Structure 1
Amino acid sequence: MSRSVTHPGARPLALRVGAGLAALALLAACGTDSGDEETPDTGDTSADEEHDDHDDDGHDDDHDHEHDEEGERDFVEVSTLDHRIVFTYDGGVATLDTGSGEVIDDQEIPGFLRLNAAGDGRHVLVSTGEGWELFDVGLDAVEHGDHYHYYEADPYWPDYVFEAETPAHVVTHAGLTALFDDGTGNITLFDPSELGEGEPETDSSYSVPEAHHGVAVALYDDELVITVGDADGRTGAALLDADREVIAEADNCPGVHGETVAEDHAVVLGCEDGPIILHGDHWHKVEADTGDNDFARTGNLFGTHASPIVLGDLRTDPDEPMTNVVLVDTRDDSMQLVEVDAPYNFRGLARGPQAEALVLTESGALHVIDPETGEIENSIDVVEEWVEPEVWQQPRPALAVAGEIAYVTEPATNQIHAVDISGGDVLASYDLEVVPNEITVVTGFPGEPGEHPEEHDHGHDDGEHAHEDDHDHGDDEDHDHDHDHGDDEDDHDH
């Protein structure tokens, strides 16, 4: 089955197995009991609080979609939400609707741009020279009791910027999105459920002691994880209480970079000699078992609340490509190496709907790895063979996941491919008029990676944060309180 669609901003598009893609999009985006989750990178239960008392016959009166300068911006109720792919190109940001195959928004913005999920399933933060510019992609899943209602509108740029000297990492956890400004060390926190079409309340009252390329992760009980370092280097991390006093500090994480949260709220940060893990109120070190090699950099991590195991990259030679990934088990603070068939880079890692570890390599294959065993269960040919460009800002195949579908860019052909992760088929190929670079997928559902969109279960009764004092970590001697091309340009991978 195939069909062609002609639309503004793109050449004719060949949709292979179009009905299959629509069915998978329905499973991934409309709140069924299938257990699907949305793409990594995040949101929180508090996003649904504004949707109480929703009327079955119309849009929630409390869920106010404001007006733009050209008149009323209507959100229309629809039967399901088709994913929208936001992608950058040289000179702008565009949005592709996967249901119609149309490029429905194209915004010219100069400079190299980064894309970050805002945490509410609807907005994207675009890193520009001014800061993080807010982009409303126009999908909204509104919870009503035991089901959802779905609304969509045209994409909208509210003309709002979270100002920053050097906008860097964006992380959503525990109902808050944390923005880290590398230029000043300032951390901005906001509730993504308050974004709407306006300006959320923000807390920018804390800055790290010395500015560096860092990250912050909000935790429950108003606790905060921050990286520690300065302009000359990064050495570790700290857990801060609500008053921003240090609870526990780890000074054994040289070159700290990359963060994620796994099952049971274990926070994992990458280092140059094995990651560190925050269990409750204490840090543990993962020893990198790489033989005689002292350099074992894990700088990009991908976790899910559905699994205790975190996927990470691994570089053992600053001058050689990466051909192994790591699976970090937060239950026993161990690390398993998995060899893949060809080099890969940070834009080719993600997690699947069943917590599978996904790795896109230069062979053109998307490898589906069982995180428990490290076995490659399937290899799906998606793109042609390619070679990573020397400059990390340059386009190369990039991977993003929403539910059962993996979206893969192919800059060499100006395409984005939709892949059925479970079935192993390429369901659709979208032809573009520009070369895609970065990519993120918007589903309309808030939620952190690995959460079922209907449940939003963070495992905290009554909102209380349970420090796992009875967690068995083995030998206490190992537990202090503690893209990578190997050069400075890597510090912007996230």
Structure 2
Amino acid sequence: MVSGVVMMPVFGISVAQAADETRQAWRLFVTNQQEGGVTVVDLEKKAVIDRFDTAGYVTHLVPSESGKTLAAVQMDHDAVAVIDSGIEVFSHGDHADIDIKDVTLLPVGINGKRPVHAVPHDGAFYMFFDGEGVAKVFDEKDLLAGSSAHGDVKATAPHHGVVVPMGDYYLISEPNLAVETKPGSLPPRLGLKVVDPAGKQVGDIHTCTGLHGEAYSAGIVAFGCKEGVITAQLSGNDAPAIKMLSYGDDMPNGRVGHLAGGKAMQFFLGDYGADKLVVIEPTEDAPFRLVDLPVRYVHFALDPAQVTIAYVFTEDGYLHAVDVLDGKIVRSQQITKPYSKDGHWRDPRPRIAVAGDVIAVTDPREHLVRLVDAKSFADKGEITVEGLPFNIVAVGGSGLSH
């Protein structure tokens, strides 16, 4: 699952020089599920401005925290390409500066056995290679300088895993090595462990069967499990405290497998089965609130600016706005023709990205990126993109251009 990156808006320009210009820039990065590659769209011009080839299909397109770089993960081709977005926004307290330049494919070679999860954190990417059982840590400054130097954080064994840094510690998925696996297959996930800076495990392994989905919100990291949602939170200099939020008897059958974390408010939004979302408030006694959808969901994303709003695309072709405070759909509009979720998980279906006051939705069957107003869902036009546009990321913001 992939979302947009929003930069710091301009709050004032009192200290700026008269010749300074306030500018806004948004770029959409769109993967092609037909031939591979990433297409770059200038949202203001509504035009394709560049395209980069990749070794294969981009299964995950992940922006860094700053939005300066994106990791184009090609799981089946053992490669990760890194793109310089060409947009950088600097906060100066009472205003922001924006630097806009050409987008480029960085000359770094990142290879390894079956990369999947790339976690952006504190100016670095933690890229987990399932076939090696290791997260390779790439500093964004090194990548921008053309270097693929990296550190390693090792898991117990190869598996479909993830490593998330937290303070001086690491949260690492743990495989179940007691289960016999078929040749060429990886072991299932058993749970989560905490590792200190020296690589020593702290405490027991915490059960989180089938651990999948990871997100950060206001000091808490959460992962989806079959038993519930497991969270980690720092307390001073101590190791992260781990807590399981069990689904309990009041929840219907289902589980969380994908998560997004609120930025200005502490909450998580997750899937729950095929036709429900769940709002998770980890510090509440009753942390789960279900959102019933009319049909199965295809993709969802949070709005970084309207912090109480999430968007979900359902297989009937409708886009919905969900108020996470009351867990209700507040707006719906048909955007495309229906897209069934039946078939392979990588069959191209619409994906959502939020670019300021615009929502961009890929429509692979029509070779389009459709644009709608984030508040009214009014049609804001469309952009033709070659191939089958699939994953999409929005990078941009506004600021003073000196």
TM, length-normalised to structure 1: 0.69
| Partner residue of 1:107 out of 52, 67, 80 | 52
| Partner residue of 1:354 out of 287, 300, 306 | 306
SS, match of residue 275 in structure 1: strand
SS, match of residue 296 in structure 2: strand
Partner of 1:273: 227
SS, match of residue 365 in structure 2: helix
SS, match of residue 144 in structure 2: coil
* 1-structure distance, mates of 2:102, 2:397: 13
Q: Deviations over 1:380-415 (max 9, x none)?
A: 332222212411111001112233332111112111
Q: Is the 8 A contact 1:357 1:370 kept in 2?
A: yes
The 1:344/1:145 distance shift into structure 2, 3 A limit, reads closer
Q: Deviations over 1:41-60 (max 9, x none)?
A: xxxxxxxxxxxxxx9799xx
1:421 matched to 2:374? The reply is yes
Q: Is the 8 A contact 2:66 2:123 kept in 1?
A: no
Partner of 2:282: 330
Q: Is the 8 A contact 1:218 1:224 kept in 2?
A: yes
Partner of 1:368: 321
Q: Is the 8 A contact 1:309 1:372 kept in 2?
A: no
Q: Is the 8 A contact 1:180 1:215 kept in 2?
A: yes
* 2-structure distance, mates of 1:57, 1:218: 43
For residue 266 of structure 1, what is the amino acid of its counterpart? I
Give the C-alpha shift of residue 436 in structure 1. 0.4
* 1-structure distance, mates of 2:251, 2:301: 29
Q: Runs of 5+ in structure 1 lacking a partner?
A: 1-24, 35-54, 59-76, 316-321, 446-452, 455-494
| Partner residue of 1:124 out of 39, 61, 70 | 70
Partner of 2:181: none
Partner of 1:287: 246
Q: Is the 8 A contact 2:316 2:339 kept in 1?
A: yes
| Partner residue of 2:210 out of 255, 260, 265 | 255
* 1-structure distance, mates of 2:336, 2:217: 30
Q: Deviations over 1:282-333 (max 9, x none)?
A: 221122246696x522111011231222110112xxxxxx111111111126
* 2-structure distance, mates of 1:279, 1:262: 10
1:304 matched to 2:256? The reply is no
For residue 69 of structure 2, what is the amino acid of its counterpart? H
* Greater fraction strand: 2
State how 1:99-248 maps to structure 2 within 5 Å.
99-114=44-59, 115-128=61-74, 129-144=77-92, 146-199=94-147, 202-204=150-152, 206-220=153-167, 222-230=168-176, 231-248=186-203
Q: Is the 8 A contact 2:110 2:148 kept in 1?
A: no
The 1:415/1:290 distance shift into structure 2, 3 A limit, reads farther
For residue 121 of structure 1, what is the amino acid of its counterpart? G
* Greater fraction helix: 1
TM, length-normalised to structure 2: 0.84
Number of residue pairs matched? 371
Q: Runs of 5+ in structure 2 lacking a partner?
A: 177-185, 235-239
Q: Deviations over 1:352-396 (max 9, x none)?
A: 123323211112222222212112222233222221241111100
The 1:202/1:292 distance shift into structure 2, 3 A limit, reads closer
